[in-house]
Amino acid sequence: MVIRKAIQTTLLAALFLALCPVQPEAAAYPKPKAIPDRPELTFEPGALRIIQSPDDGQWYWYMTYEISNYTGEDRIWAPTFTLFTDRGEVVESGRGVKRAQVNEIMEYLGDDMLEAQHEIIGDLYQGEGNVRSGLVVWPAQRTDVNELVLFVSGISGESTVVKHPVSGEETILQKTLMREYLVSGNATGLGDDPVELHSDMDRSPRWIYR
C-alpha cells in the first residue's frame, strides 16, 4: 500500500537509518514499552469526518476528542495532530485553516464545550470534572484519497533517544498514537458519515516512536 510505504520511510528517516548502511540488527527502530513507566493522559478520539465550508467552498477533515487526566498530578496538554494521506500529503492540524472555518465547524456541531486546538493548549487538571473536549481541523487539500493515517503526540511523556549509526548524533522520538483509516468511495460523498478505521488493520490502540 502506498501510505504504508510512506509511513515506513518516514519512520526510518526519523531514525537516520534510511540513508545509512547498517547491520540488520541495528536497523530495527525502537518500540514503546508494553506497560508505561508512569501514568498517561486518557485520550478518547471521536470519529474522523470531512466537511465543506460554505464560506470558501474548501473541504476540511475534522475530529473531536476528549482528554482527561487521572495521572495523579496536573499536566500540560500541548498535542500535535499530523495527518498522512496516500496522495503524499503530510498535514499538521490547524495549518492553513482559518479561524472562520473552525468557527463554522464548531457552530455546526453545536457543542459549547468544544475548544479549538490553540485554545485547549495549557494546564490539564486532574479528575473527572476537568475533562476537556477539543476540535482538530486539517485542510483536505485533496479529496481523492483512500487511506489516511493520524499521528497524535502529547498523550504520553515517554520518549527514546536514538543515535545516528555513523555520526552518533542524537534524536529524541516521542511515543505517539497511530490510527489508520480507509475511505470507501468518494470522500466528498460521505456527508456526516465518519471515515472508518481501516478494516485490514488492528483496531486496538497502536503506539510508535516518532
pLDDT given at position 29: 75
Residue 100 has pLDDT above 60, yes or no: yes
Report if residue 143 sits inside a domain.
Answer: yes
Q: Quick check: is 135 in a domain?
A: yes
pLDDT (0 to 100) of residue 200: 78
Q: Grid coordinates representing 16?
A: 537516520
**Residue 32, in any domain of the structure:** no
> How many domains does the chain divide into?
1
Whole-model pTM: value is 0.84
Domain containing 82 equals: 2-11+40-209
**Residues facing 124 on adjacent strands:** 75
Residue 73 placed within a domain: yes
Q: Concatenated DSSP letters for 46-89?
A: EEEEEEE-TTT--EEEEEEEEEE--SSS-EEE--EEEEEETTS-
Q: What is the mean pLDDT of residues 34-56?
A: 95
Paired sense of beta strands 75-77 and 122-124, if any? antiparallel
Specify if 34 maps to a domain. Answer: no
53 occurs within a structural domain: yes
